[in-house]
Every structure is written in structure tokens, then in C-alpha cells.
């Protein structure tokens, strides 16, 4: 279940700026070569990430969960001249595709890929983040959030993807699986957290915008 019908989703996409040629090719290759291409942010959410980044003009961005690098390239569009984007991916097999597209991106020199478990890599990155995009293991969202919040600047933003989890967060009649439970707990935790203000956008699979106060 999605918040929008497929028809409305197509309409939204048709009235949103197109992907660049680079992103189109990455999107296509991801669909041809990977088992779960649906994980890629796509045009609509990608343009939203890009626009948020361009509005915030970040110096430091952290992404947790690179997959093939689509959202990283979208977020990088708003980086300042001296900006850096650090992105963490646990699957080493994805390195080739990620670096292929990072290397032909105009933001190449600003992109830093870290291969390994985000829970181990996050503490080694001593930066103050302007934007953090949480998009890795769903059962670990709360851990990622607590690990990064102290290093997000005031007015900085954490974005958490898939917070509607295919609509399962409101399907109270069916048995709740581990990931749905974790996402629901994360959403409740953020809603009650006085350190932040939050807005749940029903875009794609649900994007939670969290501003640090």
C-alpha cells in the first residue's frame, strides 16, 4: 500500500524536473543489474533530496545506506564548494557500480564512500553534519538517529526514508514484523523528542524530515 495511487504518483513525476542523464543511466543500470532496484530513491524523491540540499547549502552530508549511489548524487547537488558527502554501504559488491558513477559525476572530489557496517563507521567520522540521510537497516534506525543527532548542527536536518514501510505502520490487524515494529518505534520516538521538530511527508514510502533545534 502506498499513500498515493499509482496514477497520482505518475502525475507527480510528470510535473517534477527530470533526472539528469547521469542519474537516468544509474537508475537504469540499477534496475538491470541489482536484485532490489526498488530501494533506489528514484526521480521524485531524488529531486526532493536535491532541492532540500540546495536550500540548506550543506558543507557536510552523511548518508547511511548508499545502495548504488543514486540518493548520494542527488544530495551532492547542493553541496558548497568545500563540501563533502560521506556515504556508508555494507555490501562490497556494490562498490564497482557506486564508484563508476561517482567518478563521472561533477561532484566526484566531494564524494567519500565508506564500505562497512554503519554502526562501526559512524563513530569514526568526526564531522558536524548539516544533513544526514538515514536509509540503511530499518531495525537500526533509532541507533543511527541517536548516534548522529549529537553531531548535527542546530538547524541541520536528518531525513529518514521508508517511515511508512509500505503502509504497514497503520495495518494494525496483521501480525507486525520486526522491521515494521522498529520503524513504528522510531517514528514515535522522534515525535516525542523535544530536541527536534519533525514532519512526515507521504512521499514515496514516507520521508521523515527532522530539524535539530
Ligand X SMILES: C[S@@+](CC[C@H](N)C(=O)[O-])C[C@H]1O[C@@H](n2cnc3c(N)ncnc32)[C@H](O)[C@@H]1O
Q: Give how many residues touch ligand X by CB under 6 A.
A: 17
Query: Number of C-alpha atoms within 13 angstroms, CB side, residue 5?
Result: 3
Q: How many CB atoms lie within 10 A of CB 64?
A: 29
Nearer to ligand X, 137 or 211 (CB): 137
Pick from 13, 91, 146, 177: which binds ligand X (CB under 6 A)?
91
Residue 85 binds to ligand X (criterion: CB under 6 A): no
Instruction: Enumerate residues 15-74 that contact ligand X by CB under 6 A.
Output: 39-41, 65, 67, 70-71
Mark 133-162 with x for binding to ligand X (rule: CB under 6 A) and - for no binding. Answer: --xxx-------------------------
- In the range 97-136, which residues lie near ligand X by CB under 6 A? 117-119, 135-136
Q: Does 88 bind ligand X (CB under 6 A)?
A: yes
Nearer to ligand X, 70 or 129 (CB): 70
Does residue 84 belong to the site contacting ligand X (CB under 6 A)? no
Q: What is the nearest approach in angstroms of ligand X to the Cβ of residue 69? A: 7
How far is it, in rounded angstroms, from Cα 185 to Cα 179? 10
Which spans in 20-172 are helix H? 21-33, 42-56, 70-76, 95-104, 118-121, 141-149
**CA distance to 75, 155, 177, per residue, from 56 (Å):** 11, 9, 36
Residues from 158 through 197 that contact ligand X (CB under 6 A): none
Q: State in angstroms the smallest separation of the CB of 213 from ligand X.
A: 26
Continuous segment of H or E residues that includes residue 191: helix 178-191
Distance CA 180, CA 138 (A): 8
Side by side, the strands of the sheet bearing 152-161 are: 111-115, 84-89, 60-64, 129-134, 152-161, 207-212, 196-201
Contacts to ligand X by CB under 6 A? 39-41, 65, 67, 70-71, 88-91, 117-119, 135-137
Amino acid at each position: 500500500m502506498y499513500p498515493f495511487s499509482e496514477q497520482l504518483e505518475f502525475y507527480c513525476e510528470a510535473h517534477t524536473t527530470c533526472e539528469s542523464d547521469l542519474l537516468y543511466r544509474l537508475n537504469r543500470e540499477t534496475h538491470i543489474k541489482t536484485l532490489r532496484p526498488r530501494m533506489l530513491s528514484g526521480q521524485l524523491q531524488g529531486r526532493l533530496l536535491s532541492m532540500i540540499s540546495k536550500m540548506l547549502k550543506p558543507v557536510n552530508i552523511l548518508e547511511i545506506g548508499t545502495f548504488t549511489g543514486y540518493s548520494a548524487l542527488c544530495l551532492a547537488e547542493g553541496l558548497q564548494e568545500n563540501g563533502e558527502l560521506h556515504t556508508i554501504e555494507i555490501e562490497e559488491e556494490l562498490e564497482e557500480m557506486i564508484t563508476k558513477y561517482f567518478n563521472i559525476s561533477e561532484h566526484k572530489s566531494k564524494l567519500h564512500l565508506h564500505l562497512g557496517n554503519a554502526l562501526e563507521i559512524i563513530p569514526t567520522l568526526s564531522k558536524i553534519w548539516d544533513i544526514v540521510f538515514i536509509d540503511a537497516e530499518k531495525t537500526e534506525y533509532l541507533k543511527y538517529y541517536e548516534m548522529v543527532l549529537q553531531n548535527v548542527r542546530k538547524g541541520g536536518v536528518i531525513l529518514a526514508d521508508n517511515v511508512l514501510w509500505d503502509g504497514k505502520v497503520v495495518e494494525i490487524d496483521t501480525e507486525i514484523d520486526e522491521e515494521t515494529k522498529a520503524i513504528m518505534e522510531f517514528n514515535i520516538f522522534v515525535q516525542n523528542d523535544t530536541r527536534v521538530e519533525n514532519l512526515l511527508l507521504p512521499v514515496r514510502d514516507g520521508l521523515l524530515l527532522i530539524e535539530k533545534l
